[in-house]
Structure 1
Amino acid sequence: MSKSGQIPDTQSQEAQKELERCVLRNTRAASRMMTRNFAKRLGRFEITTEQFSLIASLAGAEHDSVSGLADYLAIERSTLSRNLSLLERKGVVQKRRADKGNGVVYSLTPKGQALFEKMVPHWQAAQDAILEVVSREELDAALNVLQRVAKL
């Protein structure tokens, strides 16, 4: 450190380079850009990107509990419950008692399934926009890494 208390230029430049490689900053920036990309295309359905992910997850498979669905989506259970309630009021999802225990499970209503099918082409357009910037191989590699990191 210099007499003035400032970090010498070479250390400052190295620190700046390392900060440019910060996993947190870069993943959050990418996440915000992805959210904007998908929101631009899905916003016409008055569904948030988080709600779309939830609807898509329910369209793909039934989850045995709200907690299991929260874990699958890597979101707080309270956030999931709030979105499920909003989608239930819109008639997009329905709940029923779980086969075991006293929990509940959610599934898409026919209205929810129809909405999902209408959203898929717009979701695909958002996916395709990403492939204008990166190759399929790069995207697959990035998704592989993100899926592993999501399990931390």
Structure 2
Amino acid sequence: MAKARSPMLNDEPVDPDIDLHIPAQRQEARQNQRPVIAVVAVGGAVGACARYGASLAWPTPPSAFPWTTLTVNAVGCAVIGVFMVVITDVWAAHRLVRPFFGTGVLGGFTTFSTYATDIRRLVDRGEARTGLAYLVLTLVVAIAAVWAASVLTRRIVQWRQR
């Protein structure tokens, strides 16, 4: 069975239960997305402000290794690991909690665009090896943080349920 396609959305796949040729269903699809977009935007602003606060509290001099960015990304990834276990295994969250906190707050808090800029800055300063090490270290730390936090959270939840 082929997925429904929308001529209005550049031929991107859409919900197969919605026929976008029917104006009422097209309007319903738009209305259902408005709250999600709003909470992601608000959450993103909150997360970006928290990240900015971290950069003010622990500024990184231009010639130094970007420890603040690495730490912010590691903490954000660990929090997403905890959050995903909590909302999938423990708590039946409202449908807007995940987009608000997971996509919005944590998406705004973690800063992979600054990470890319930091790598570029290191390479431009002639520190290509450090830039490569930072590139790999951040990816490893981010993945390890999500994994470790989710495993630890799941164990704590199981322990508390006994």
Q: TM-score under structure 1 normalisation?
A: 0.27
| Larger proportion of strand | 1
Larger helix proportion, structure 1 or 2? 2
Q: How high is the TM-score relative to the length of structure 2?
A: 0.26
